[in-house]
Chains A and B, each alone.
Chain A
Amino acid sequence: MTDATAELKVTAASDIEVDRDALDQSIKEFAGPNGDYYVNAFHKIHDATSAVPNTFNLWAAVLGPFWSASRAIWGMFWTFLILEIIAWVQIGRGAWGNPGADLAERAARQQDRANELLGRAADATEQADVDRFTKLAENIQRAADSSLEKAQAAQSEALGIMITGLLMLLVFKLVQGFYADRIYEKQYSNWRIDPESTESGRSNRNIVLGAILIAAIGPLIVYKFTVNASLAMLDAFPEKEVSALILGEGQGTLFSTVATWMEAQIDAAALAGGDVFDGIVAGVRSVLDGLTIALIGSPWPVVMLVICVTAWRAAGPRVAIFTASSLAYIALLGYWDVAMETVALVGAAVLLCVAFGIPLGIWFGKSKRAYRAAEPVLDLMQTLPAFVYLIPIIAFFGTGNPPGILATIIFGMPPVIRLTALGMRGVPESIKEAAVAFGASKWQLLKDVEVPLASPSIMAGVNQTILMCLSMVVIISLIGGGGLGKEILEALQYAAKGPGLLGGFAILFCAMVIDRIVQGAFRREDEKV
């Protein structure tokens, strides 16, 4: 009975031994130099059942970041490089720094002054002067004493700082020693999964790289924090000196040179392409004028009625009532014309976004290469703060409503392009194939299959574009755009709280009405399909 169990155990153990052989081989292959040590360490780690480290890597502790660099454990390298530098800075401040230097100097100065006053007191002939100088000297002597005391206190603190630094360093070394093998074992596991992109072994390149990084970063930082009067060059980037070095003495800074150059370039481009830019402005203006005539030229009751009925048809009675009250608010407070101007501005921007965005989106949906090329531009259009591109827009297109619409388009167009492309790519291949199999041409395929099937996505893009265009209403007033945004801007300039709030609500209501109507229309659309 016992024999059998023992035998069983022996067999099982030998089985495991066989596995270990393959594992050892792979660990050795991974670790390179010192393979035996890591085989041993990883075994211990594999056998461990608790999270408490059970190995200690002496070299990792002694060499610190240098070890992790040599083993290409870069995360560990940076963490402990920074931590060790912090510790070294403390040690440096304690050992070589002079924390009480300022105070000691002051104490010496005060002592001198006190002595000088005492001398004067001794020289003085009149009793009143003697008294006065003695009194002063006493006061200053007291101050000098207190400064000296403080200086000494700071001096003795230095020892404390140094000890703290040493303790920190010790702790970091221990942590590295204890966790080095565990971290390295993690790297080994990653290496097993993906040997191509996980570094293994010990390479001279990494040793040199680590040494350079440590040498470049460590001493400079320790020097900067340790020595009291450090070099000015290390405190701030020597921008003026470098500029002088590159451009020559007295030629201004790099900044001013590049800025001037860019200004000249933009001016030249604006001048050269003047006709094109004027053409674009004229085109945008004609769209805007059309909308403005419709919204402001028509009698207000007509416009109001049309908007309310649209709201009703698109989104139901509740939205219609909300729309009517919003419009009443706008009209009663005298915002009617400016509000309609805002709607015309947003409407023109949305129309242009859709007119150009959908064809572009269709193209990007069909051509992967075009989409890859356009993607960074789209990202830029969305992430660039509007204030940045307002300047070139002024340079090229001047100020007023049309340039404001152009700025709005830059910000608002990406969603409709993206979602159109997404929708196009989501059209099932099988349905496209069926249409082609029944003889559809490219154009028929596009109009009968691709666009209809992508339309929910396209509509979602249009919706997002509308909302993004609305959010630009105030910003474009900075470059002369009119409408409610301008009211807000003026109120802001004169800190006029009342008009600012009233105008703000007017914008809010406009935005909410448009948003509700559009959302409602989409919901209806969804219910239909």
Chain B
Amino acid sequence: MTETVVKLTDVWKIFGARAEEAMTAVRNEGIGKPEVLERFNCVVGVQGATFEVPRGEIFCIMGLSGSGKSTLVRHINRLIEPTSGKIEILGHDVSQISETELRRIRAQQIGMVFQHMALMPHRSVRDNVAYPLEIRKVSKSKRWAVSDHALGLVDLTGYEDRLPKELSGGMQQRVGIARALASDPEILLMDEPFSALDPLIRLQLQDQFKALVAQLQKTTLFITHDLDEAIRIGHRIAIMKDGVIVQIGTPEDIVMNPADDYVREFVQGISKLKLVKAHSIMEPLDSYSGPTEGAPRADEGADLDQLIDLAVNTDLPVIITDGGQDIGVVTKPRLLRGIQGGKND
């Protein structure tokens, strides 16, 4: 079992002067978001969020704007204090640590990337990336070396001495990622990092980012309002609505078994080709009696996309293997049903 890096337990955030009162009322009377607004003039940002993120996982938080994603994630580096609940990083309760210790954790263990880049316009790209180290009073030569290395990771070698405004939006966001990586943190918090970018640049950056995180093994909380993006990037996805996490699961989980109508509506337009795997649509080998001679083979983890590539060149079904052993077949009808929504008739 891998180590849990971030753990939230029943975290609530209520904004407003009378947050404590409102929290008590929520606990005792179970009143909802509109009533809290009406009675206490407080906004409920997050309602009872509970989840764990193990090391190296990309955990996506998906929801419409205003659903409380940013608020939730800002609890982890305590940019926002919870009204109630517990937040742990590597087993330490962040609400217990001192101001100095908090700043050290922010500078060393948590890197953050923002939707609007939030680069300092008066500093060069290199000095922007080096800023987390500068805060920790790392020497200039070390700082510059580290920052140049981080810029190399995001393919920005050669732009070190430019000012941020001389770079395109996509490049600026890569500077933001480099800055978050500079102090080699344990955790990355990404608050809609690609939302402000053009679709093409966004796709490119998503792939780049996924590869980078896989290589660096960073535990990542990735906020997005785009389910496609969440599915492309996330190992697991949490779906938020009005401050509540309505479902947590793998992309396949969410697409195949939406928890409620809200999630179902989101999932409807999503292409299943990359999500549905062979093992969930195959027919066991014993119940299949047709010809298999010369049929193509695929692993049980192969997705529909790969299965289609194999099936177009032959009239035969695709044989599914697990560890070299044939375990089932995917016939054309099953493949078509799978594309439709993964249902076995």
Contact = CB atoms under 8 A, between A and B. Distances in A.
Contact of B104 (A428, A439, A449, A529): A439
A494 interface: no
B77 interface: yes
Interface in B76-121: 77, 79, 103-108, 110-112, 114, 116, 118-121
Given A433-B114, A444-B135, A438 B106 contact: yes
B149 to A, nearest CB: 17
A211 to B, nearest CB: 44
A449 B119 CA distance: 10
Interface centre among A428, A433, A438, A448 (most CB of B within 10 A): A438
Interface in A427-477: 428, 430-431, 433-441, 444, 448-449, 452-453
Interface string A403-443: 00000000000000000000000001011011111111100
A453 B118 contact: no
A433 B132 contact: no
A437 B106 contact: yes
A438 to B, nearest CB: 4
A430 to B, nearest CB: 4
A2 B26 CA distance: 67
A453 B114 contact: no
A431 B132 contact: no
A437 B77 contact: yes
Contact of B121 (A438, A444, A448, A453): A453
Contacts of B140: none
A434 B122 contact: no
B79 A433 contact: yes
A453 B110 CA distance: 25
Nearest to A436: B79
Interface in A366-423: none
A428 B114 CA distance: 13
Contact of A434 (B118, B134, B136): B118
Nearest to B112: A437
B107 A438 contact: yes
B122 A529 contact: yes
Interface residues of B, number: 26
Interface centre among A428, A434, A444 (most CB of B within 10 A): A434
A439 B103 contact: yes
A439 B106 contact: yes
Nearest to A439: B107
A428 B108 CA distance: 24
A438 B131 contact: yes
B211 to A, nearest CB: 24
Contacts of A435: 120, 131
A451 to B, nearest CB: 10
Interface in B30-87: 77, 79
Tell me the interface secondary structure of chain B in the complex. mixed
Contacts of A453: 120-122
A513 B326 CA distance: 91
A428 to B, nearest CB: 7
Interface centre among B105, B132, B179 (most CB of A within 10 A): B132
Given A437-B77, A438-B112, A452 B118 contact: no
A431 B118 contact: yes
Contacts of A428: 118
A434 B103 contact: no
A69 B125 CA distance: 68
Contacts of A438: 106-107, 111-112, 131-132, 135, 179, 183
Given A438-B106, A439-B103, A448 B131 contact: yes
Given A438-B106, A438-B107, A430 B135 contact: no
Given A439-B106, A439-B107, A441-B103, A431 B120 contact: yes
Given A437-B110, A437-B112, A430 B118 contact: yes
Contact of B114 (A430, A440, A448, A449): A430
Interface string A61-102: 000000000000000000000000000000000000000000
A448 B120 contact: yes
Nearest to B189: A437
Contacts of A441: 103, 135
A273 to B, nearest CB: 41
A400 to B, nearest CB: 43
Nearest to A429: B118
A428 B164 CA distance: 15
Nearest to B121: A453
A434 B103 CA distance: 13
Contacts of B114: 430, 433-434
A525 to B, nearest CB: 11
Contacts of B136: 439
Contacts of A529: 121-122
Nearest to A437: B112
Interface centre among B105, B116, B119, B131 (most CB of A within 10 A): B131
Contacts of B79: 433, 436-437
A426 to B, nearest CB: 12
Nearest to A449: B120
B122 A452 contact: yes
Contacts of A452: 120, 122
Contacts of B108: 439
Nearest to B176: A434
A522 to B, nearest CB: 16
Contacts of A449: 120
Contacts of B110: 437
A430 B121 CA distance: 12
A430 B134 CA distance: 19
A513 B91 CA distance: 66
B132 A439 contact: yes
B97 to A, nearest CB: 13
A320 to B, nearest CB: 29
Contacts of B111: 438
A430 B193 CA distance: 13
Contacts of A433: 79, 114, 118
Contacts of A434: 112, 114, 118-119
B96 to A, nearest CB: 18
A327 to B, nearest CB: 35
A25 B250 CA distance: 60
B45 to A, nearest CB: 16
A430 B74 CA distance: 13
A215 B189 CA distance: 74
B55 to A, nearest CB: 21
B60 to A, nearest CB: 20
B108 to A, nearest CB: 8
A428 B116 CA distance: 11
A282 B189 CA distance: 56
Nearest to B103: A439
Contacts of B134: 448
Contacts of B120: 431, 435, 448-449, 452-453
Given A436-B106, A439-B104, A441-B103, 7 more contacts: A431-B118, A433-B114, A435-B131, A436-B79, A437-B77, A439-B105, A453-B121
21 contacts: A430-B114, A433-B79, A433-B118, A434-B114, A434-B118, A434-B119, A435-B120, A436-B106, A437-B77, A437-B79, A438-B107, A438-B112, A438-B131, A438-B179, A439-B103, A439-B106, A439-B135, A439-B136, A440-B135, A441-B135, A448-B131
Interface of B: 77, 79, 103-108, 110-112, 114, 116, 118-122, 131-132, 134-136, 179, 183, 189
Interface of A: 428, 430-431, 433-441, 444, 448-449, 452-453, 529
Question: What are the nearest 9 A-B pairs in CB distance?
Answer: A439-B107, A434-B118, A439-B106, A438-B132, A439-B103, A430-B118, A437-B112, A452-B122, A439-B135
